[in-house]
Amino acid sequence: MSITIIECKYKTTMEPIICGRTIGECIVAGQTLKNNIKKRISKYFTNSESIFIRDDFWPSLELLEKISKCTTPFKVLNNDQEALLWKENSDLSQIQNDNVFNIDKNSFQITYPWELLNINEELMKCIQNPIINGNVRNEAIIDGILQIGKNSVLLPGVYIEGTVIIGDNCKIGPNCYIRGFTSIGDNCHIGQAVEIKNSILMNNVAAGHLSYIGDSIIGEHTNFGAGTITANFRHDGKNHISAINNELINTGRRKFGTVFGDNVHTGIHTSIYPGRKIWNDKSTLPGTIVKKDIKPRKK
């Protein structure tokens, strides 16, 4: 089978996590999004078929089941009548109406960063088997399902709860608490008294000590100063909102922390309001309270 991933045009609504990478290159559940899309689709089509899909489209299993029964070319359209997924690289305008499908309620185009958390949760709920390629010390406790990569180590006092993915060459612990559904990339360091819950950490992230990362997406080469705390819950229990292109957007999430771009560095005791974002190469001073997004200065 041939599955071609079509890179979608740049989306400012995906900043800051999209800065410098395509949507398909973002990490969810320990792999790039485009690899996860390929795995998702490959279960429904035969080896002789050619499938094309945009990298910002997450099709539901119900939709894939439905379209997999088509023996001739088909296409799936969004509400703007744009093709998101199709079979055979032919003239899409010639596809018969019976083989034209609209996006269903459980499928969506990836428009905002927090939607990567939704995909991460969905995929990690399906994980059933542990994979232990690293070194888990006897004093570490795994109360759930752990997948850990080569040359990674869980030091004494680490407590893993739920489903957690840890990449290669990571140092985890001592004495930290990691809860599902958390995906940690390669070459990461999670240290003393750090708690991580339901988050995506990309490669080369360091949180050495005394920090909390909850319901957040963290870009590459980020460093958390000691005592950095991401808030993820409103006192009134309502869904979080986040500013996108100067508009407040309802995230649909009661728990939502922060989104970091790449190369972000926080000073010690930084506190971050829920739904705030920090752009690439930005930093905070010790004791900073992040009430608004930290963006690059306008030129």
What is the spatial distance between Cα 230 and Cα 189, in angstroms, rounded to a whole number? 18
173 burial type by CB count under 10 A (0-12 exposed, 13-18 middle, 19+ buried) = buried
**Torsion 194-127-108-82 (CA) sign:** positive
Among the listed residues 209, 221, 235, 240, the single catalytic one is: 209
| Cα(204)–Cα(122) distance, integer angstroms | 24
Contact 107, 100 (CB under 8 A): no
- Say whether 221 is catalytic: no
Collect all residues with Cβ–Cβ distance below 8 Å to 242 and sequence separation of at least 6.
112, 114, 248, 249, 251, 256, 275, 276, 277
- b/e per residue, 125-153, with b = 16+ CB within 10 A? eebeeeeeebebeeebebebbbbbbeebb
Maximal CA-CA distance, the chain? 63
**Could you give the residue numbers annotated as active site?**
209
